[in-house]
Amino acid sequence: TRTLSLTMRSIVRPWRSRGRVMAAALQLKPRPAPRAQPPAEISMRGSMLTDTFNRKHTYLRMSLTEKCNLRCQYCMPEEGIDLTPKDEILSKDEIVRIARLFVDHGVNKIRLTGGEPTIRPDVLEIVQELGRMPGLETIGMTSNGIGVARKLPALVDAGLNRLNLSLDTLQAHKFTLITRRRGFDKVMATLDLAVELGITPLKVNCVVMRGSNEEELSDFVELVKDRPIDVRFIEFMPFGGNKWKKDVFVPFTEMIEVIEKDHPTLVPISTEPNDTARSYKCEGYKGTVSFITSMSKAFCSSCNRLRITADGNLKVCLFGNTEQNLRDRIREGMTDVELAEVVQAAVLRKKAAHAGMDNLANMENRPMILIGG
């Protein structure tokens, strides 16, 4: 059984396998969970998160759930998804253990995603646990803004200090078309509450799609005139089931050209070395606008991000279709030292760049909702 288990660990599996089918076939019996142990002290300490291109990964995005109360066109297939069984989703203790392992090895920023992370009943407890971790400087969350308002003050008290809200239109009727649900007013109320609570940076994520919302670019810029927020225009990216088409894709250069016609005082501003966004500001405006150019001007060379899916798989690249299952290894009784070795091996296999827009459109990958936004 031990030999078979080790063999399985050496396999880099496409996301569809998820490990459970193979494990069932081999009839592996999980080993008892280990007792609490000190942080992993291994020979590669400090380098566990450094890849062969000397990129140091200090940012971990953790999906808490695959469930969501919206059905955004670019995120979820129209026919919906098959949810992972509840007992195969990471537990709170497993999330905290994985987070602590990464923080012990240099991660200083964690963002909680989904699905919609606030759907998870123990989201506050998870943030409280993260807030007590020495070395973790930033706890962020990406939310659709529908139900987070009532939990937001407590989340901030627990340590949440960054918030991204998804909002792809400023028109209520169009919101319903894009998300296939109602809720525009709730999102706007959440945005105003977050400003009132002083969350900074506070960001609004807008996926720009031709024929849906590209004519609202200048309207979104006006949103930051009196609000200290950053609106981030995101290029439409191909994922499983989102029916990505090149003629729907709006490149950064086109967006900036449209905005500059209405806002001639728009100028670029400096950003941090690992920022994914190209940021701009209009004279006299409280907020900023940014552009996530994953397709037209990729920023892979400075990528410092890793992802954990809700079902416990490590993805070293958002667009990669190979994963390492940490959940099963934890449940089989792996120590933190052994887990660190698995993580390091995966990080060392990270490629220099993603495959490019045209190739990605033809590659198999999870739907975005099963990765974590």
Tens of pLDDT along 88-137?
999 999 999 999 999 999 999 999 999 999 999 999 999 999 999 999 99
Q: Read off the pLDDT band of 359 (50, 70, 90).
A: low
Looking at 69-78, 278-287, 296-305, which range is the least confident one? 69-78
Confidence (pLDDT) at 353: 76
Confidence (pLDDT) at 14: 46
Of 104, 105, 113, the residue nearest 139 (C-alpha): 113
Confidence (pLDDT) at 43: 43
For residues 358-365, average pLDDT: 59
Confidence (pLDDT) at 315: 93
For residues 205-232, average pLDDT: 96
Structure tokens at 89: 């989703």
Is there a contact between 308 and 321 (Cβ–Cβ < 8 Å)?
Answer: no
Distance CA 159, CA 354 (A): 33
The pLDDT > 90 percentage for the chain reads 65
For residues 37-64, average pLDDT: 78
Distance CA 337, CA 329 (A): 12
Q: Read off the pLDDT band of 2 (50, 70, 90).
A: very low
pLDDT at 8 over 60: no
Of 272, 261, 186, the residue nearest 230 (C-alpha): 272
Of 211, 210, 215, 213, the residue nearest 249 (C-alpha): 210
Q: Read off the pLDDT band of 350 (50, 70, 90).
A: very high
Q: Read off the pLDDT band of 241 (50, 70, 90).
A: low
Confidence (pLDDT) at 236: 85
Residue of higher predicted confidence among 244 and 337: 337
Strands 305-308 and 313-315: antiparallel
For residues 15-27, average pLDDT: 40
Is there a contact between 233 and 289 (Cβ–Cβ < 8 Å)?
Answer: yes
Confidence (pLDDT) at 322: 84
Burial class (CB within 10 angstroms; exposed 0-12, middle 13-18, buried 19+) of 338: middle
Residue of higher predicted confidence among 115 and 246: 115
Confidence (pLDDT) at 12: 43
Confidence (pLDDT) at 366: 62
Confidence (pLDDT) at 243: 66
Confidence (pLDDT) at 369: 63
pLDDT at 32 over 90: no
Looking at 18-22, 289-293, 348-352, 359-363, which range is the least confident one? 18-22
pLDDT averaged over every residue in the chain: 85
pLDDT at 327 over 80: yes
pLDDT at 196 over 80: yes
Residues in the chain: 373
